[in-house]
Amino acid sequence: MKDEIILTPEGYLELETELNELKTVVRPRVIKDLKDARAQGDLSENADYDAARDEQAQVEARIKELEYKLEHSVIAETKEKGVATIGSTIVVCYDDDDEEEFKIVGSMEADPFENKISNESPIGKAVIGHKKGESIEVESPNGSYTIILKDVK
């Protein structure tokens, strides 16, 4: 299914929490700001009103986006212990003995600055289904290289 969005349980919870915050805290505040700005009179030259309308549009768009993502998401389940899958934290060792730790997540949650790599990334694709200690060939745009899967948590 093309509209399927793969999320870890943590990623799903983050989106749910953000949606709840937008609906219960941010949306009511924006509505109040709109009412306050409207009360100031002439709307044609009212910068507060324009800013509140812009914020309202952004909030409503984000709510729709989050609702869509949550509705079309599939939560990745860890099936077998010790086997790399979405939701696993892995430690890989490169040829030069450098080690890196990554969490494998769906593409929507990927964040290289937090060492969260997508299951669609070269390393993510390569390690899925492999176990600790295995040597794995990674195909990347810059050519292939070998890594060792040091740990799977």
What's the CA gap between 42 and 27, in Å, rounded? 24
Torsion, CA 117, CA 118, CA 120, CA 121, rounded to 10: -20
- Which residue(s) pair with 136 in the sheet? 147
User: Does this chain's domain 5-75 share its CATH topology with 89-152?
Assistant: no
Q: What is the pLDDT of residues 67-100, one digit of tens each?
A: 999 999 999 877 778 899 999 999 999 988 899 9
Q: What is the pLDDT of residues 15-49, one digit of tens each?
A: 999 999 999 999 999 999 999 988 887 777 788 88
What's the CA gap between 75 and 138, in Å, rounded? 26
Mean pLDDT of the chain: 92
- CATH fold of 5-75, please? Helix Hairpins (1.10.287)
What's the CA gap between 121 and 105, in Å, rounded? 10
What's the CA gap between 109 and 102, in Å, rounded? 13
- The count of other CB atoms within 10 Å of the CB of residue 117 is 24
Beta strand extents in 10-142 (DSSP E only): 73-75, 89-93, 99-105, 116-118, 135-140
Is the domain spanning 89-152 CATH 3.10.50.30? The answer is: yes
Which of the four pLDDT bands, split at 50, 70 and 90, describes residue 3? confident
Domain extents in the chain: 5-75, 89-152
